[in-house]
Copies of this chain bind each other. A is one copy, B any other.
Amino acid sequence: MIKYETKMRVEYYETDAMGIVHHSNYIRYFETARTELFRSMGYSYNELEKSGIFMPVLSVDAEFKTPAVYDEVLSVFCWVEKLRGASIVLGYEVRGSESGQLHVTGSSSHGFTSPDLKPLRLKKEAPEIYEAFRKAME
């Protein structure tokens, strides 16, 4: 299983009055991380959408272990946890790049749909992409 690592730096506008990253921003970091995982597999999400394959978020969850702070460099790991014919589950781990400290874990599930958000059987409609996801999970 490939745990793809995306590095990013905490911006000032992502912190809150507690002096730490506001928890809602990790949900955004997850999005950046899965986008980069897909890109590393040869499929930019932008091009997927342009070719008619959307992946709307069905659910998301996150556990906040320790706070990340302003200017910290984060390593956000993302991997394919489960793959079904018309949906996928991704896993996430956010760590301090230098400290290695675990900040957040989480997962998100996504449907494969047409642009009008109707379910689409990826395995049948785009078998090469399905195969790429399947391999990434191994």
User: Which positions in A face B, CB cutoff 8 Å?
Assistant: 11-13, 15-20, 22-25, 27-28, 31-32, 35, 44-46, 54, 56-64, 67, 69-71, 117
In the assembled complex, 12 residue pairs joining A and B whose CB atoms fall closer than 8 Å, in A order, are: A11-B28, A11-B31, A12-B31, A13-B22, A17-B69, A23-B27, A35-B71, A44-B71, A57-B64, A58-B63, A59-B61, A60-B64
Copies of chain A in the complex: 4
Chain A interface mostly: mixed
Distance from A66 Cβ to chain B, minimum over Cβ atoms (Å)? 9
A12 to B36, CA, bound (A): 12
Distance from A22 Cβ to chain B, minimum over Cβ atoms (Å)? 5
Other-chain contact of A12, B11, B22, B25, B67 (Cβ < 8 Å): B22
The reply to whether B12 and A70 contact each other, CB–CB distance below 8 Å, is no
Beyond the given pairs A11-B31, A67-B117, 16 more chain A to chain B contacts, judged by CB atoms under 8 angstroms and listed by A's residue number, are A12-B16, A12-B45, A13-B22, A13-B28, A15-B17, A17-B19, A17-B20, A17-B70, A23-B27, A24-B25, A24-B28, A27-B27, A46-B70, A56-B64, A60-B61, A61-B61
Residue of B nearest to A47 (CB): B71
A16 to B22, CA, bound (A): 9
